[in-house]
Amino acid sequence: MTPQQLQEGILHGAPAVRRRAMAKAITLLESTRADHRTQGDELLTALLPHTGRAFRLGISGVPGVGKSTFIEALGLHLIAQGLKVAVLAIDPSSTVSGGSILGDKTRMEHLSVHPDAYIRPSPSSGTLGGVAEKTREAMLVCEAAGYDVVIIETVGVGQSEIAVQGMTDMFCVLQLPNAGDDLQAIKKGVMELADLVVINKADIDPHAATRAQAQITSSLRLLSMHGNPEHAHHDESLWTPKVITLSALKGEGVDGFWAAVQEFRRLQTANGRLAARRERQSLAWMWERIDAGLKQAFRQHPQVRELLPRLQQDVTAGRIAASTAARNLLAAQSGQSLQATI
């Protein structure tokens, strides 16, 4: 399908045609072929006027915290309210084989077959921060297709999954009731950026969940005074991070979670923080793509490709420092004279 056909299918196609066009469009945007990148840019530019109306929700948490179960419960709750839900599930890629299982869809049995839901698993492909390289582009495709809520589920590998916070309107962190003391919770870098902390699996140990809620609430209050200025505690016109408990498996507390999300959206829209956040994210996205493009152009430069094999051998053999080799390659790209390589 051409970019024009994909655009037509996404914007005006019947449900089955739209889903097929979305899948093909995201695959096109994820491709590394030069001609596919050109077509992807053309498609994305055409779709851009139709984006921006959906609410973007990022979900992070350690493996086993119940992200997929929670997203299914939330998705079905939103669909019952008449909303259309898209889920971009990022799966970790093996550092050995490079492959990815992409099994998140199988854990959302009911949501994955619902006509008002769209689930797209994508491999992280070595991208740090818990998201895939083209997650932003996939998110815009879902928005253009008319989905009201776009949920991004991160890989779930620990304490550095903050990239999703830079592409969503609200960043939620899922926590287990017995996941360590409050100091352990503070140590996680994601806590400082979280807009909402959710204690999942509260049905297993309600007392532990209540203790965790109190401890993390106290921690967030401390962070708001000395950490993230976005979370100023004294101004009632600004959102204050909250901690809630729920059981996704039993469907308890999901309505309270969505009520908190709606309150966040109302406050941050009224005070202009939501629009400002999206503006910063767009600029960050541009610079991120510039960095990726510069790296690709560097690798494809004729002189760099000529020198690279020899310099790699010199570095591995210990004949030249890695920093010197890097400077020589950069000098070759810019046409400057090389430093000594021995």
CATH number at residue 203: 3.40.50.300
Please report the pLDDT score of residue 230 as a whole number.
56
> What percent of the chain lies above the pLDDT cut of 90?
53
Please report the pLDDT score of residue 103 as a whole number.
59
Q: Are strands 117-123 and 170-175 parallel, antiparallel or unpaired?
A: unpaired
Give the domain CATH number at 18: 1.20.5.170
Residue 156 confidence class, pLDDT cut points 50, 70, 90:
low
> 58 lies in a domain?
yes
Nearest Cα to 151, choosing from 128, 137, 172? Answer: 172
**Which residue segment(s) compose the domain that 174 sits in?**
51-271
**Could you tell me if 154 and 74 lie in one domain?**
yes
| Contacts of residue 94, Cβ cutoff 8 Å, sequence gap at least 6 | 100
User: What is the tally of structural domains in the chain?
Assistant: 2
> 276 lies in a domain?
no
**Could you tell me if 155 and 116 lie in one domain?**
yes
Choice among 2-11, 93-102, 188-197 with the minimum mean pLDDT? 93-102
Nearest Cα to 252, choosing from 283, 307, 209? Answer: 209
**Could you tell me if 237 and 198 lie in one domain?**
yes
| Contacts of residue 122, Cβ cutoff 8 Å, sequence gap at least 6 | 26, 30, 88, 89, 90, 91, 102, 132, 134, 135, 138
Stretch 87-116: mean pLDDT: 71
Looking at 242, 271, 300, the residue that finishes a domain is 271
Q: Which residue has the tokens 């083209």?
A: 134
Tokens of 209: 């969940």
pLDDT of 159 over the 70 cut: no
**How confident is the prediction for the chain on average, in pLDDT?**
84
Please report the pLDDT score of residue 160 as a whole number.
47
> 156 lies in a domain?
yes
Tokens of 160: 């550095």
**Model's pTM, two decimal places?**
0.83
Nearest Cα to 157, choosing from 97, 90, 212? Answer: 90
**For 26-39, what is each residue's pLDDT tens digit?**
999 988 888 998 99
Stretch 144-165: mean pLDDT: 77
> 139 lies in a domain?
yes
Looking at 241, 271, 301, the residue that finishes a domain is 271
> 321 lies in a domain?
no
**Could you tell me if 45 and 58 lie in one domain?**
no
**Could you tell me if 6 and 20 lie in one domain?**
yes
**Could you tell me if 44 and 55 lie in one domain?**
no
> 74 lies in a domain?
yes
**Could you tell me if 18 and 113 lie in one domain?**
no
Choice between 12 and 184, residue whose per-residue pLDDT is larger: 12
Stretch 229-235: mean pLDDT: 56
Choice between 286 and 91, residue whose per-residue pLDDT is larger: 286
| Contacts of residue 307, Cβ cutoff 8 Å, sequence gap at least 6 | 328, 329, 332
Please report the pLDDT score of residue 95 as a whole number.
44
**Could you tell me if 59 and 38 lie in one domain?**
no
Would you say the C-alpha torsion 322, 324, 326, 328 has a positive or negative sign? negative
pLDDT of 223 over the 80 cut: no
**Could you tell me if 136 and 158 lie in one domain?**
yes
> 113 lies in a domain?
yes
| Burial readout 214-231 (b: 16 or more C-beta within 10 A, e: otherwise) | ebbbebbeebbeeebebb
In the chain, what's the furthest Cα-to-Cα distance? 69
How far apart are alpha carbons 321 and 342 in whole angstroms?
Answer: 9
Stretch 301-307: mean pLDDT: 92
Tokens of 173: 């962190």
**Could you tell me if 147 and 258 lie in one domain?**
yes
Q: Reduce the DSSP state of residue 198 to 3 states and report it.
A: strand
Looking at 210, 236, 271, the residue that finishes a domain is 271
pLDDT of 177 over the 80 cut: yes
**Could you tell me if 155 and 38 lie in one domain?**
no
Please report the pLDDT score of residue 105 as a whole number.
65
Please report the pLDDT score of residue 216 as a whole number.
85
Report how far apart the first and last C-alpha atoms of the chain are (Å, whole number). Answer: 53
**For 240-280, what is each residue's pLDDT tens digit?**
889 999 999 999 999 999 999 999 999 999 999 999 999 99
**Could you tell me if 7 and 131 lie in one domain?**
no
